[in-house]
Amino acid sequence: MENIVLVVHLILALCLIGVVLLQRSEGGGLGMGGGGGGAISSRGVATALTKMTWIFAICFIGTSIALTVIAAQKSAGTSVIDRLGVEAPVEPAVPAPSGSDLLPPPVTDGPLTPPRAD
């Protein structure tokens, strides 16, 4: 199922790219200039390409959401380590330091005097 949605997603992406590249920035479609009152005018092509762009974009977003939901369902309740089958190493318990280990060493002879230079 995931592969089918992924293939449809990629086809939609290519179609969306193609339709966007066919549009002209001025609003005319397929590079058709003005003039000519043919069966399909430049305005009609632009409107058709705009509608196709919207359709492809909505379908692309829909397949993106579908792929996200499928991926979330596949990974629910497992972690990467569980899927690899690797057990986490157990570290030996280290005893907590006692209160005296956290204090600085006691002062024994009072203030230190600097050595005399003779």
The answer to whether residue 103 is domain-embedded is no
Band of pLDDT at residue 9, cut at 50, 70 and 90: very high
61 in any annotated domain: yes
pLDDT tens column, 59-83: 999 999 999 999 888 877 777 677 6
Tell me whether residue 106 is in a domain: no
Residue 111 domain flag: no
Altogether, the residues listed in the chain come to a count of 118
Strand positions, DSSP E, 30-114: none
Residue 113 in any domain: the answer is no
**CA separation for the pair 40, 62 (Å, rounded):** 31
Phi, psi of 72, deg, nearest 5: -70, -35
- Residue 47 domain boundaries: 2-32+41-74
Overall domain count for the chain: 1
Does some domain include residue 15? Answer: yes
Residue 118 lies in a domain: no
- Phi-psi label, residue 76: left if phi above 0, alpha if psi -120 to 50, beta otherwise: beta
Report phi then psi at 39, rounded to 5: -65, -40
Q: According to the model, what pLDDT value does residue 84 have? A: 74
Whether 7 is in a domain gets the answer yes
The three-point CA angle 49-50-56 to 5° equals 85
> Which pLDDT score, from 0 to 100, does residue 47 have?
85
Return the sign of the alpha-carbon dihedral for residues 47, 52, 57, 59.
Answer: positive
Say how far apart CA 12 and CA 19 lie, in whole Å.
Answer: 10
